Structure 1
């Protein structure tokens, strides 16, 4: 039987391995991400494609099946905001953590932006949209 300590240790080790990998392939480097978003270097896109290919194979091996459903009302505007924020800041919510751990302290501004954005999403959702509770992330 797994204990909480064992699960926590496994999560820490997995997180460190992911952070190490993400840093070494360049996802923590703002200049590298900028080159990806401006189509100057396709290496990062190939990294994404490789990750998608791996997960497709894993899902096939595990026989994971999902039936497509109705698209949640917040997906399209959320995706636009997420992509815009990523292009401006050079990081999705996980990347600024890697950047701060690597010594790039301006990424703290991105983390504050993520927290403010989640707060604004929850406020707007409660006041205007009334979508399900999980629609604002974290």
Structure 2
């Protein structure tokens, strides 16, 4: 069974959440605040609030999350140290390759800048020598 809220119900729930601020409730009063949210929502929507049914749904959701966490923990435990170290080694090798490429690109750029500077200096020398030759 799939339960969906209508747009009107979503808006009403958001109004109640903004007004009652259940996430900011003091420790120990959180359950009471959420009960107030549920009651005001059921009153506004003219839907009967069934505490036992809601508690069962909440417990079911908690069980699903707990089972999911357990499965994830089992999968993580199955990963061996060699898998992790292989992944770290690959990451390290990739980092070295990237740094090598960056160093080569910087060296190439520096060489191009030096070549351009040499060309500019040669052009300036030609201009100055031509100017000095014309001065005489």
TM-score (norm 2): 0.22
Question: When you count helix as a share of all residues, which structure comes out higher?
Answer: 2
- Indicate the structure (1 or 2) with the bigger Cα radius of gyration: 2
TM-score (norm 1): 0.22
Report 1 or 2 for greater relative contact order, CA contacts < 8 Å, sequence distance ≥ 6. Answer: 1
